[in-house]
Chain A
Amino acid sequence: MSSFIANTAQDVDEMLKIIGKKSIDSLFSDIQPRHEPKSFNIPPGISEFEILTKFNLIAEKNNVKLVSFLGAGFYDHYVPQVVGALSSRAEFYTAYTPYQPETSQGILQSLYEFQSMIATLTDMDMVNASLYDGGTALYEAMMMAIRINRRKKIIMDGGVSPIYRKIIRSYTSNLDIEFKEASVVHGRADRKEILGMLDKNTSAIILQNPNFFGAIDDHSDIIESAHKLGILVIESVYPVSLGILKTPGEMDVDIVTGEGQSLGIPLNFGGPYLGFMATKKKYVRKMPGRIVGQTEDKEGSRCFVNTLQAREQHIRREKATSNICTNVALCAVQASMFMSLLGKRGLIDLAQLNFEKAEFAREMLESVKGVEVKRSSPTFNEFTVKLPSDASDVVKKMIKKGFAAGFPLSRYYPEMKNYLLIAVTEKRTRQEIIDFVDALKEVLCN
């Protein structure tokens, strides 16, 4: 018997007696002999000690020792110890969705604080209690826009993450939605091209700031033109950058989404991460996902509940605003802890530090012969360089020198064979950046 089961043989006998059955097998009589498994070849169980040995060995086959300049939307920020210590309290992580508000004020208040902190970060009115990740949040935003203005054409800027573009195209391949994608640019969005695509059938424009190549933009002019035609604007953002950058609220964006991994969530080889969504007050009833709202209890005390549940699948079934049920509440709570630790000053300092480190790296790389920095506008903590040879080969050689040198763009853009996307966070020291540039020089010389 595994240690996760408590009933002894005597318990089992007593329980069967009450039930009036002779054996546990007889409880399964609705499963007929013809339903029995054709096989069930699972290895025998092993002890906790053996598990630890086994998985330490497996983990050693992963390389986390490289000095990383990898980003592409997922960043190697430092996570303060407080976040791990608090979020590993079992009262948070072994609870279920807060269906009973009286037993869940801890999670509900944490989520309310999360929503409020994302709202002030993005300068928006209403935030939900999380979606799976940044990519699915962007897809949900697009579906929300279509629900709001009942139009079927979507325009996507060329600066939106290619990973997100692929996700959105997968979801909509069998839906009646027309897509227009603007050309890929390393700088600001191409106004002329995007504005030329707008018409009265357009539901929404999807933008990203900073874009996939790190370029900073102010989309206010595009948004103003879009609103004149009743078109909604969706913007995907990188939360840390908003410590400095003009906010979506200041630009009058309608729906903001983002990947919150940079707010205290470990990289975890791709998940769980933290999708978030913010919108204007007038659209809150069209928003997908759970929303925590403030209210009062019987005694008039402030408390928190899941609200506007009439939008959701467990009430509305096929007419729901989304099928989402489980979200990533624990990651949202982790982000709340991270944001509380940072505070308003810490956020600005973190953003500034990321900007400066990347600028330092960029300036150094500009002086390397054969390396061309590709950008036509300012960038935030990430930028593209063109190398004199295939970036994938250079990256492989850099691994041998101890660096994850960046993301070779040919993976998504075959015409950019020599292009490398480099991210620099607050974790990279001056010396590491200097060593990185030196190593790159050596690799390019040979």
Chain B
Amino acid sequence: MQLIFEKSVAGRRGYQLPKSDVNVTSKIPSQYIRKTECQWPEVSELDVVRHFTRLSKLNYSVDANFYPLGSCTMKYNPKISETVASIDGFANLHPVLPQLDPDLVQGALQVLYEMDQLLSEIAGMHCFTMQPLAGAHGELTGVMLISAYHRAKGNKKKYIIVPDSAHGTNPASATIAGYDIVSVPTDKNGVLSLKDIEDKITDELAGVMLTAPNTLGIFNSDVDKISEAVHKVDGLMYYDGANLNAVLGRARPGDLGFDIVHINLHKTFATPHGGGGPGSGPVGVKKSLCEFLPISRVIKKKDDVYALDYDYSKSIGYVAAFYGNFSVILKAYVYIMMLGKEGLKEVSDHAVLNANYIMESLKKYFDLPFDRTCMHECVFSASRQEKNGVHAIDIAKFLIDKGFHPPTIYFPLIVKEAIMIEPTETESKQQIDEFIEVMIEAAKLAENNPEEFKNFPKTTSVCRPDEVKAARDVACNYFLNK
């Protein structure tokens, strides 16, 4: 498809500005003026509308396709959340207004305050900060809190334990915050054994970052015992909330001994992921850590008046300019209000039911490295198909031609040829049956006619981009490539 720049025609305009109604004599001196010309395209309003409408049609999306992308919780994003976020009183609210007068933003502060309370109850924590702008940002905030805690206590801590099945963001976040990483291998049951963790615990352990259930979709029954062992050396337990969708109302990180939690609102609480973002990664902590949370914090005064409080001398400071991705937080709040207590429990019930149904239905056809009841996602391996030269990526491309967004592939790294399937609770049995059927078709084709896979996908505008070339001859700017 043509680039917007290739549609540019000199003199064309896509947007009419108001005419200037002021006459001023002052000019910016010429030494401050740009000499080069900015090359934004010259196109009409309809050109822009048609260009982006056509581009949109090249995407797979939750609204059009089953999207079982493991670890990403691609559930349906309710339309009502979008409507609420677009209400003038939320969408056009300037973030520094409360510094003029908090009375101007009582509604927004109420949303932030009540979300703090709801998330605290859901996760079993004492209080939350809404500031972190995505999951990884929440992780970094969390590790900064770990660091602040140990500094305040005079603890000499050096390293963080991360499982080998963890998301890459965990070790990356802990490193950026200044810690060394000790990786612990997954055992034959698909979890970290208490003993393997205990072997790595010393007085220099700052904390442990865990996902529960983990990225194999398995809940570690020893997780509370791990917490106890870590607490004995004054280490802190960090809960990566990427997989919270599996345990709503069934287990709360706080009750399992976790001290710090981040929640990906764009996963569990159904806010749209926007083709890569925005997300939102609020961080919750136990009471002993509240004093370290970022500022500002929303407080509720007498007569239900809300205010921003900056007076926390031990706070780690600001991790973002304002109060987090407010409109994302608002959408998640709408979702929680709409589902309520029972609705939230049903989320996990059906997410787990759907995943187990897929796992049982496909395990005859694909290798299942850890054959046990899973939670919200299941991880297969294409190692059986690989013997015929068919890889996980080939199966992914086959699924694309059948109208499905592929599962996550090659993650977690510890499973060879991994295919990680997370259906979510919003998919019906009938939709899942279609997916299962197509997966079985893929397995059979890999047996009988493996060569066919090299030609998939056939139905999309492009097929198998050359990623090596992209990385070798980096071309990320049209005007430089020309």
Q: Name the B residues within 8 Å of A268 (CB-CB).
A: 90-91, 93, 325-327
Are the C-beta atoms of A218 and B32 separated by less than 8 Å?
yes
Is A197 among interface residues, defined by CB-CB distance under 8 A? no
Are the C-beta atoms of A133 and B61 separated by less than 8 Å?
no
**Minimum distance in angstroms from A80 CB to a CB of chain B:** 5
Of A148-156, A227-235, A322-330, A436-444, the one with at least 4 CB within 8 A of chain B:
A322-330
CA distance A53 to B62 in the complex (A): 27
Among A44, A46, A94, A293, the residue within 8 A (CB) of B77 is A94
Q: Name the B residues within 8 Å of A42 (CB-CB).
A: 118, 121-122, 336, 340-341, 344
- Chain B residue nearest to A274 in the complex (CB): B278
CB-defined A-B contacts under 8 Å, sample of 13:
A4-B270, A14-B429, A15-B353, A60-B89, A92-B61, A100-B405, A101-B465, A126-B480, A270-B323, A271-B326, A323-B169, A340-B41, A343-B43
- Chain B residue nearest to A10 in the complex (CB): B429
Q: Name the A residues within 8 Å of B469 (CB-CB).
A: 295-296
Interface residues of B in 453-482 (CB under 8 A from A): 457, 460-467, 469-471, 474-481
1/0 per residue, CB under 8 A from A, across B165-203: the answer is: 001110111111110010000000000000000000000
CA distance A86 to B172 in the complex (A): 35
Among A113, A135, A298, the residue within 8 A (CB) of B5 is A113
Which 9 A-B residue pairings sit nearest by Cβ, starting from the closest? A45-B340, A330-B274, A270-B322, A329-B276, A170-B317, A59-B89, A6-B428, A61-B107, A272-B278
Are the C-beta atoms of B174 and A113 separated by less than 8 Å?
no
Is A415 among interface residues, defined by CB-CB distance under 8 A? no
Q: Name the A residues within 8 Å of B147 (CB-CB).
A: 174
CA distance A343 to B51 in the complex (A): 14
Of B20-28, B282-290, B382-390, B442-450, the one with at least 4 CB within 8 A of chain A:
B20-28
Is A446 among interface residues, defined by CB-CB distance under 8 A? no
Interface residues of A in 339-394 (CB under 8 A from B): 339-350, 352-353, 355-357, 359-360, 363, 378, 380
Q: Name the B residues within 8 Å of A247 (CB-CB).
A: 34, 36
Are the C-beta atoms of B32 and A245 separated by less than 8 Å?
yes
Are the C-beta atoms of B353 and A102 separated by less than 8 Å?
no
CA distance A133 to B321 in the complex (A): 8
A298 and B463 in contact, given A105-B58, A245-B32 (Cβ under 8 angstroms): yes
Are the C-beta atoms of B429 and A7 separated by less than 8 Å?
yes
Among B15, B28, B327, B462, the residue within 8 A (CB) of A105 is B462
Is A445 among interface residues, defined by CB-CB distance under 8 A? no
Is B400 among interface residues, defined by CB-CB distance under 8 A? yes
Are the C-beta atoms of A11 and B428 separated by less than 8 Å?
yes
CA distance A404 to B105 in the complex (A): 13
Are the C-beta atoms of A30 and B89 separated by less than 8 Å?
no
Are the C-beta atoms of B5 and A407 separated by less than 8 Å?
no
Is B241 among interface residues, defined by CB-CB distance under 8 A? no
Is B311 among interface residues, defined by CB-CB distance under 8 A? no
1/0 per residue, CB under 8 A from B, across A234-277: the answer is: 00000000111111011000000000000000111111110000
A107 and B17 in contact, given A102-B462, A399-B100 (Cβ under 8 angstroms): no
Which residue among A102, A134, A305, A430 has the maximum number of chain B CB atoms within 10 Å of its CB? A102
Q: Name the B residues within 8 Å of A39 (CB-CB).
A: 121, 124
Is A117 among interface residues, defined by CB-CB distance under 8 A? yes
Interface residues of B in 59-99 (CB under 8 A from A): 59-65, 67, 69, 72, 74-78, 80, 82-84, 86-97, 99
A313 and B326 in contact, given A37-B252, A133-B321, A330-B276 (Cβ under 8 angstroms): no
Is A82 among interface residues, defined by CB-CB distance under 8 A? yes
Q: Name the A residues within 8 Å of B460 (CB-CB).
A: 102-103, 105
Interface residues of A in 8-52 (CB under 8 A from B): 11-12, 14-16, 18-21, 24, 27-32, 34-48, 51-52
Are the C-beta atoms of A7 and B353 separated by less than 8 Å?
yes
Is B338 among interface residues, defined by CB-CB distance under 8 A? yes
Among A38, A107, A167, A299, the residue within 8 A (CB) of B320 is A167
Q: Name the B residues within 8 Å of A59 (CB-CB).
A: 87-90, 107
Among A19, A245, A318, A353, the residue within 8 A (CB) of B357 is A19
Are the C-beta atoms of A63 and B105 separated by less than 8 Å?
yes
CA distance A285 to B252 in the complex (A): 41
1/0 per residue, CB under 8 A from B, across A89-130: the answer is: 111111111111111111101111101110111010111011
Is A291 among interface residues, defined by CB-CB distance under 8 A? yes
Are the C-beta atoms of B13 and A343 separated by less than 8 Å?
yes
Among A52, A103, A341, the residue within 8 A (CB) of B83 is A52
**Minimum distance in angstroms from B155 CB to a CB of chain A:** 13
Is A181 among interface residues, defined by CB-CB distance under 8 A? no
CA distance A27 to B133 in the complex (A): 33
Interface residues of B in 103-160 (CB under 8 A from A): 103-108, 110-111, 118, 121-122, 124, 133-137, 139-140, 144, 147-148, 151
Are the C-beta atoms of B168 and A129 separated by less than 8 Å?
no
Q: Name the A residues within 8 Å of B417 (CB-CB).
A: none
Q: Name the B residues within 8 Å of A166 (CB-CB).
A: 317-318
Is A157 among interface residues, defined by CB-CB distance under 8 A? no
Are the C-beta atoms of A345 and B42 separated by less than 8 Å?
yes
CA distance A24 to B425 in the complex (A): 13
Q: Name the A residues within 8 Å of B140 (CB-CB).
A: 171, 323
CA distance A14 to B353 in the complex (A): 11
Is B299 among interface residues, defined by CB-CB distance under 8 A? no
Q: Name the B residues within 8 Å of A27 (CB-CB).
A: 352-353, 356, 373
A132 and B137 in contact, given A109-B3, A167-B321 (Cβ under 8 angstroms): yes
Are the C-beta atoms of A109 and B55 separated by less than 8 Å?
yes
Q: Name the B residues within 8 Å of A292 (CB-CB).
A: 476
**Minimum distance in angstroms from B146 CB to a CB of chain A:** 10
Is B249 among interface residues, defined by CB-CB distance under 8 A? yes
Among B255, B341, B480, the residue within 8 A (CB) of A281 is B480
- Chain A residue nearest to B43 in the complex (CB): A340
A55 and B59 in contact, given A116-B478, A318-B172 (Cβ under 8 angstroms): no
**Minimum distance in angstroms from B418 CB to a CB of chain A:** 13
Are the C-beta atoms of A31 and B250 separated by less than 8 Å?
yes
CA distance A297 to B373 in the complex (A): 40
Q: Name the B residues within 8 Å of A333 (CB-CB).
A: 52, 274-275
